[in-house]
Structure 1
Amino acid sequence: MARRPTNPKDAAEALFRPAPKPAAPAIERRAAPEAKELVSLRIDSAVLEHFQADGPGWQDRINDALRAAVEADKG
């Protein structure tokens, strides 16, 4: 516990010193089901070329392939 200042000037300065603000509580944000999140992902160039070869929608195709792998893993 901090001691009270005995010097009057220090006591006065202590009265006007800003009080430390309590840290804001962490807010846990839950993603909506089936919501997509922006991520950075490193994949082999051959894999990227495979999915991009069919044109637009390659990110959705990668997501579908990963979802299928997750479902297969759940068994």
Structure 2
Amino acid sequence: MDRQYYNNVLSHTVLFTSDAALLTSEGTARMVVDNANIPGWWEDRFEKAMVKMAGIEVKTGDQGQIRKNCRAINYY
């Protein structure tokens, strides 16, 4: 994401209500401001998160399931 995205959040011109909701909490609002104003701040954290996620093994077979509704487990 680029700095313009965060500026859009700050100016309340985002598409998703979930993005706008970032400003409703003091903690997340501060992160939006930092992401918009500190070059490389978000990119560094995103890079670390992607590397960490790459280490998560995919669950297959009986270990996991593909959910039809991501908010609820499937019942067989």
- Normalised to the residue count of structure 1, the TM-score between the two structures is 0.31
Which fold has the larger relative contact order, with Cα–Cα distance below 8 Å and residues 6 or more apart in sequence?
2
Max radius of gyration: which structure? Answer: 1
Q: Which has the higher helix share?
A: 2
TM-score between the two structures when normalised by the length of structure 2:
0.31
